[in-house]
Structure 1
Amino acid sequence: MNNRRFQTLDKNYQSKLMDSFPKLSAIINNENKHDYQQVAITVFDHWLTEDEAVKELNDVPIEKQKIYDAKLHSFVCGLTSTFESYLIKCVGRHKERVTFRAFKSDDARRTLVPLNYFASHRHRFIFVVPALQLIYTESWDYTHHVYLRDSASLEVLRAEAAKVGVYVL
């Protein structure tokens, strides 16, 4: 019995997905994003000013961290359950090769839990939703980033966000 939560896709489908997301490596490496519209999924209803950021993000109580993480986790689970999605893993000696992994179950989707806001970006999750032509990246400070090729997907994100109490900025 195979206990893995994700299944690596075959090479043909991997190639097809890479063709669908031509700038994926650049986005993963935080480089050229010119072909994509970037939006944020966040627990905050507006962009924080410097003073607000200091107040909201320094010494966040554990209870508040759990609430924020639960909201973002609910959003991710809802999005990946509603639309065919693939987890992205970088493999190879220098993590230079992008691979796509299919979720084998709902339990696998539930593993996409936001990391502590002090954690490194190297271990944060990234996934794609081909039907919406979007790349979703976990980030810091209770804000995740979405890169869209089709602005029509924005309304879908807003509807999903409204269900769980997060915001699209």
Structure 2
Amino acid sequence: MRKFLNVSKQRQKELEEQFPNLIDLVQVNKTKEYTFLAVSIFDHWLTHEESMELLADLDASEIERRTSIFDKFNQLLLEKTEVLTFRFRGLKGDKLKFKSFVTEQAQSSYIRQTDMGMYKTVLPDFKAVYFEGYDDTNVFYLQDLSVKSFIESCATKVGLHCLEHW
């Protein structure tokens, strides 16, 4: 069964205009249109030594605990706003396609924390792009800083921290 549906051609065009330079964000290049905001298990950027200690050789219960925290955070987002995913297609891999989810279950399944950078989403109402990251840190790119307080409140509610600059 399909999990995704292409958005209408009109909506596709509107989203392309609303979210310029997505390919740069996917490639982790800075753009002038977006402000970076990370959501992390950790309350600061880890040093090399800390990352070796806090990210290596985790037992299954700690991995599940961290995953659960992000899943709760993601659920709070899903309850408050529309979430779409996107792909790059075409011979050069530069043709953008936005997709909606067929069901809420498909959406929740896609936006399930794996800590492997699996999901790429846009939140049109929030004017934000949201990526699953690595090392127990996910990333937002915000066009409108007024949603930052909502993201921070959701993060605090589940036990995550917001980090601004790396």
TM-score, length-scaled by structure 1: 0.87
Change (3 A) 1:30 1:104: same
1:132 maps to a residue whose letter is F
For residue 59 of structure 2, what is the aligned residue in structure 1? 61
1:59 aligns to what SS in structure 2?
coil
Distance in 2 (alpha carbons) for counterparts of 1:83 and 1:61: 34
For residue 158 of structure 1, what is the aligned residue in structure 2? 152
Shift of 1:110: 1.5
For residue 32 of structure 1, what is the aligned residue in structure 2? 30
Matched, 1:21 2:15: no
Shift of 1:39: 0.8
Distance in 2 (alpha carbons) for counterparts of 1:104 and 1:86: 11
For residue 79 of structure 2, what is the aligned residue in structure 1? 81
Matched, 1:137 2:135: no
Matched, 1:4 2:2: yes
Distance in 1 (alpha carbons) for counterparts of 2:128 and 2:135: 21
Distance in 2 (alpha carbons) for counterparts of 1:63 and 1:93: 43
TM-score, length-scaled by structure 2: 0.88
Name which of structure 1's ranges 156-165 and 146-155 shifts more when overlaid on structure 2.
156-165
Percent identity for Structure 1 against Structure 2? 25
Distance in 2 (alpha carbons) for counterparts of 1:135 and 1:72: 16
Change (3 A) 1:82 1:104: farther
CA RMSD of aligned residues (A): 1.7
Name which of structure 1's ranges 104-113 and 15-24 shifts more when overlaid on structure 2.
104-113
Shift of 1:93: 4.2
Extract unaligned runs of 5+ from structure 1: none
For residue 167 of structure 1, what is the aligned residue in structure 2? 161
Deviation digits for residues 73-113 of structure 1, max 9, x if unmatched? 22122212310111112223453222111123221222112
1:147 to 138, 141, 147: 141
For residue 97 of structure 2, what is the aligned residue in structure 1? 99
1:30 aligns to what SS in structure 2?
coil
Distance in 2 (alpha carbons) for counterparts of 1:159 and 1:72: 14
Deviation digits for residues 115-137 of structure 1, max 9, x if unmatched? 2x4x4x5xx11111111110001
Deviation digits for residues 42-73 of structure 1, max 9, x if unmatched? 11122223322111011121211111111112
